[in-house]
Amino acid sequence: MKAYDVIIIGGGPAGLAAAASARRNGVESILILERDRELGGILNQCIHNGFGLHTFKEELTGPEYARRFIDQVEELGIEYKLNTMVMDISADKVITAMNREEGMFELQAKAVILAMGCRERSKGALNIPGYRPAGIYSAGTAQRLVNIEGFMPGREVVILGSGDIGLIMARRMTFEGAKVKVVAELMPYSGGLKRNIVQCLNDYDIPLKLSHTVVDIKGKERVEGITIAEVGPDRRPIPGTEEYYPCDTLLLSCGLIPENDISRGAGIEMSPITSGAVVNESLETNIEGVFACGNVLHVHDLVDFVSEEAAMAGKSAADYVQGKINRDTKTPDVKIVATDGVRYTVPSVINVDRMDGDSIVRFRVGDVYKNHYVSVYLNDERVLHRKKQVMAPGEMENVVLKKDQLAAVDGLNTITVKLEEA
Amino acid sequence: MYDVVIIGAGVSGSAIARELSRYQVNACVVEKAEDVCCGTSKANSAIVHAGFDAENGSLMADLNVKGNLMMEDLSKELDFSFRKNGSLVICLHEEDRPNLEALYERGVKNGVKELKILEHDEVLALEPNVTDDVVAALYAPTGGIVCPFELNIAMAENAATNGVEFRFNTEVRNIVKKDGSFELVTNNGTIATKCVVNAAGVYSDVFHNMMSSKKIHITPRRGDYCLLDKTTGDFVDKTIFQLPGKYGKGVLVSPTIHGNTIVGPTAIDIENKEGTNTTQEGIDELINKAGSTVKGLPIRQVITSFAGLRAHEDNHEFVIGEVDEAPGFFDAAGIESPGLTSSPAIGVLVAGMLKDKLNLQEDPNFVGTRKGVTHLNSCTKEERDALIKENPAYGSIVCRCEMITEGEILDAIHRPLGATTLDGIKRRTRAGMGRCQAGFCSPRQIEILARELGVDQSEIRKSGRDSKFIVGTPKDRL
Amino acid sequence: METINLTCIGCPMGCPLTVTMENGEVKDVTGNTCKRGDDYARKEVTNPTRIVTSTVICEGGKIDAVSVKTKSDIPKGKIFDVCSALKGVSVPAPVKIGDVIIKDVAGTGVDIIATKQVDKA
């Protein structure tokens, strides 16, 4: 069985940045395993603008952003396999993978970095009633068909879900000659970036109906029409508010779910809130030497933060391989409690002795909050109280925990991240 | 002129075709859809009923028990998935106990073996997730679960391999009785045959009534279902039934042979014979009712919902046999539950009738075994390596949720009665049945299918003539 | 005096902007947190522009489509002219990021450039 110091599962933005970081931090033996026919992950089909403002101070399209990291990986001479599907990770870091040339094979890793990204919630998971015709696509599948395979999946479109993928596809389909009739959003606010409402919907007079959902699908073999209805505060359809839109396509942009099928198999502890692994300040999971980053850890909105997080994971993996991670800490593992409007934090556990400098703690809020404060408590003492004009579930936030500040607290046993009104 | 034309390639028609193919006979199955298993056979509970539910002395009871007994051996001969997991009929109120006991008696009289009444503690010891309100339960160890697609496809393939012709996209519009024969008028020309078998599912009354003054009436009885993620696979091991009522066996909770949990069906009578759409009311009803027999149903793990139509005849009994006024015309009509279970027995029964009618001789070349699509997941490492060496397509995973390879998909396309649509691939391989519901694999499946069939990707369909995925190329309307 | 409220699309922050105008001239811009926001606001109320991203066919490459964009922004009203100009356009592999696919697309004076590297098959 071949062995590598670091094996990275996924060659998208997270995997690429993690690989480059691991190499720069001194690891020679690295392998990226990618299931698609090229590196770049989901960025390859994200042909729109908006990537890289933080990382490169430029506005790039997805493929351009990906190319920056693919170039790094190639310049650094990092090994990768394409068209290779990882089927299993064992608790002792044996990776089972498969491709046409090598068949099924096993690799022993010292460190593993999970960078598998996420999948989309399907129509079935939404339990939308009606027929099951052709013409129902998740927005990402439609995006793949249009941008990579070169096909039009439909001509008259209804979109459910105002997350960024749905908004981007509203514009994309319009550019390719389709008519997007309406975007329905279950919540009373949109899940996507405000800029996308403007440049994907408003620009093309595509109506956005908040607090609406799809209640019926007509068409036995191909979509013939979609009925949407208004929903009440309980998110259930209000009878009598139904509107029928004749169309041939329904695109669904109703949430992304980290793809952790193989992580579960390895016995990695999952967070029921993020559906990603529970990790500490080093982005290490409950299995020593297994790290996670990017969308498989928690769904991001900006790829720049994915790259930043992945670089951290790459460094941690390098530290682990080089025996630099401190397991003999005098300080305990401290849980970060997410409460009062904060849905979750990544990481969710911090060990002060193990911190390598300051820690970025990323989080999401559960609702739209205006003029609230982000507060951080170390035990009972508030150390951060920052006002933010607007916070929304669709926009990831962060706080920075300073190592010396944490070290200064005697008997630190809880860190709390919460929202306060005053 | 054919000896026999069977209308319908569902489990009934395919079972009859398979049994008929044991004989030297010129037979053809006509099916209006593009594939076998496109009607009721693809949308049901997939339960192999023990046989305690059907009325004593009925044909349903007789064929149910026979079919149940045949299923294990048949699953080995024809290589489809089947498991005898056992059933529990849950009694929630002491005052309903007489009904439970009556069910037990009925089962015993029907010839069902090993039936037992279990008390509260015994039930919960067997199935911890049954509701704590359970008073007692009927335990039927001979109940099982099967893959209905594989069962249907396997019987059809075996029939085809043994010489039965299959004509798809062929819809019978009219049947004309001739002297000693029949003419089937279809959308693809007229077919002459000595005998006809009516296995047309929800449309079986239409054809029967063309031939007989003793009319039958089929009401499409819709059953909505929810399918739960494989992570719920251990929720129950036995099939959990409610005490049956007026409309049938009630809502069940069961493992599926593939490791999911299935919840359903409702029993909603409709008029539209094509009305396979679920409704919000139907879904709500089944979730509600299922919650009464189990505790903590993990309904949030739903990955898809669907509906099937049972061919419910007014008399709630199978209509199987030769029509007096039309000698040579045989019904296999009104095949509602326990139709799936009974299908092997229906096959034997009707093939026997045809053998006698036509004085058929056995075919010495009949091969009664069939190998299904190789499932890599059930191969040993050595078997897998050998397979991939011989055909690298088995090393390329297409459906990542179910871990299905290109090799399996190619097999599904190129075998007898091979898949020509994505749903056809799905039913033969499971590709697209996982938690992402083909979100990931459909572009690749479309590419593979187009390549193998030698057509443009824009010609590839989901299921049905109008179900194309791709409508054109980008900018073609600009 | 006219007040226009906009959302900036210059970056993912989407700052809410307020523009005051008089006689078709921009008098003041508030709400922006950077210079790009100010630039965007002024442009948006007088001469709105957009960057157009799309795909064209790639021949003989490892993949069949190559993503493209307008090298800089073009007048909003010409978006569909630009889309139409890309109809039927195909480019042979290899393609490098920045390769000019169409010069001066739809009379905008702006080039269409490739945003993806496609190697020969």
Q: Sort out which chain A residues have CB atoms less than 8 A from C83's CB and list them.
A: 175-177
Which pair of structure tokens corresponds to residue B151?
A: 């069962």
Q: What residues in A contact B378, CB-CB < 8 Å?
A: none
CA dist., res. B356 & res. B180, Å (int): 15
Q: Which residues of C touch B476 (CB under 8 A)?
A: 87
Query: CB distance A87–B471 less than 8 Å?
Result: no
- Minimal Cα distance from B475: which residue of C? C87
Subunits that touch chain C (at least 3 Cβ pairs < 8 angstroms)? A, B
Using a CB-CB cut-off of 8 Å, the residues of chain A touching C12 are: 50, 53, 193, 195, 301-302
**pLDDT attached to residue C11:** 77
Residues of B with Cβ-Cβ distance to A218 under 8 angstroms: 277
Buried b (16+ CB within 10 A) or exposed e, B172-182: beebebeeeeb
Scanning every residue of chain A, which has its alpha carbon at the shortest distance from the alpha carbon of C79?
Answer: A175
Helix (H, G, I), strand (E, B) or coil at A382: strand
Which of B49, B258, B316, B375 is catalytic? The answer is: B49
Please report the residues numbered 38 through 97 in chain B whose beta carbons come closer than 8 angstroms to any beta carbon of chain A: none
Q: Is B93 in the active site?
A: no
CB of C80 within 8 Å of a chain B CB? The answer is yes
* A248: closest chain B residue by CA: B471
Residues in chain C within 8 Å Cβ distance of A194: 7, 14
Strand (E) or helix (H) holding C66:
strand C65-70
The arithmetic mean of pLDDT across residues B470-475, rounded, is 94
Q: End-to-end alpha-carbon separation of chain A, Å? A: 59
pLDDT at C69 over 70: yes
Q: Find out whether A352 and A412 touch, Cβ atoms under 8 Å.
A: yes
pLDDT tens digits, B146-197: 999 999 999 999 999 999 999 999 999 999 999 999 999 999 999 999 999 9
Instruction: Give the pairing type, strands A333-338 and A414-420.
Output: parallel
Residues of B in contact with C86 (CB under 8 A): 475
- Note whether B261 and B232 are within 8 A (CB): yes
The residue to which tokens 């009859």 are assigned: B16
CB contact under 8 Å between A149 and B278, yes or no, is: no
Cα B18-B19-B23 angle, rounded to 5 deg: 105
Identity of the residue in A102, A138, A153 whose CB atom sits nearest the CB atom of B470: A153
Task: Tell me how close the Cα of A59 comes to any Cα of chain C, in angstroms.
Answer: 8
Strand order in the sheet with B144-146: B47-48, B144-146, B82-83
For chain B, the residues whose C-beta falls within 8 A of a C-beta of chain C are 474-476, 478
Query: In this predicted model, what pLDDT tens digit does every residue of A153-195 receive, in sequence order?
Result: 999 999 999 999 999 999 999 999 999 999 999 999 998 888 8
pLDDT digits (tens, 9 = 90+) for C22-64: 988 999 999 998 998 999 999 999 999 999 999 999 999 999 9
Q: In terms of CA atoms, which chain C residue is nearest residue B476?
A: C87
Hey, are the CB atoms on B475 and C84 less than 8 Å from each other? Answer: yes
Burial of A38 per CB tally in 10 Å (0-12, 13-18, 19+): buried
- Give me chain B's average pLDDT, please: 96
Distance from CA of C86 to the nearest CA of B (A): 8
Chains sharing 3 or more CB pairs under 8 A with chain A: B, C
Q: Does B233 touch chain A (CB under 8 A)?
A: no
A97-125: pLDDT as tens digits: 999 999 999 999 999 999 999 999 998 88
The verdict on a CB contact (< 8 Å) between A221 and B467 is: yes
Alpha-helical (H) ranges within A294-372 are 303-321
pLDDT digits (tens, 9 = 90+) for B311-367: 999 999 999 999 999 999 999 999 999 999 999 999 999 999 999 999 999 999 999
Task: Choose among B302, B393, B442: nearest Cβ to A127.
Answer: B302
Residue B377 has pLDDT above 90, yes or no: no
CB burial readout A280-301, b (16+ within 10 A) else e: bbbbbbebebbbbbbbbbbbbb
In contact, A325 and A308? CB cutoff 8 Å: no
Average pLDDT for residues B384-410, to the nearest whole number? 94
- Summarize pLDDT for A223-269 with one digit per residue, the tens: 999 999 999 999 999 999 999 999 999 999 999 999 999 998 899 99
Confidence of residue B247 (pLDDT cuts 50, 70, 90): low
Nearest partner of B287 among B259, B256, B265, judged by Cα: B265
Which candidate from A120, A135, A221 shows the least CB-CB separation from B465?
A221
Please report residues of C whose CB lies closer than 8 A to that of A199. 9, 50
What confidence tier does B87 reach under pLDDT thresholds 50, 70, 90? very high
Q: What is the mean pLDDT of chain A?
A: 95
Beta carbons of C67 and A176 less than 8 Å apart: no
Q: Which residues 31-90 on chain C approach chain A with CB closer than 8 angstroms?
A: 50-55, 57, 62-65, 67-69, 76, 79, 83
Of B436, B458, B473, the CB nearest to A119: B436
CA A199/CA B139 separation, integer angstroms: 62
User: What is residue A327's predicted lDDT score, i.e. its pLDDT?
Assistant: 86
Q: How far A391 CA sits from the closest chain C CA (Å)?
A: 11
Sheet holding A136-138, edge to edge: A136-138, A249-252, A156-160, A179-185, A208-210
A61: closest CA among B262, C98, B425, C104?
Answer: C98
| pLDDT (tens digit per residue) in B257-274 | 999 999 999 999 999 999
A348 touches A278 (CB < 8 A)? yes
Q: CB of B393 within 8 A of CB of B407? A: yes
pLDDT at A157 (0 to 100): 98
- What is the least distance, in Å, from the CA of C56 to any CA of chain B? 9
Verify whether the Cβ–Cβ distance A151 to B388 is below 8 Å.
no
pTM for this model (two decimals): 0.95
Say what the ipTM of the complex is.
0.94
Q: Phi, psi (5° rounding) for residue A51?
A: -105, 140
> What percent of chain C is modeled with pLDDT above 90?
81
Task: Note whether C83 contacts B: Cβ–Cβ < 8 A.
Answer: yes
**For chain A, which residues score pLDDT lower than 50?**
none
Q: Test C76 with A203 for CB contact under 8 angstroms.
A: yes
Q: Which two tokens stand for residue B292?
A: 């009464």
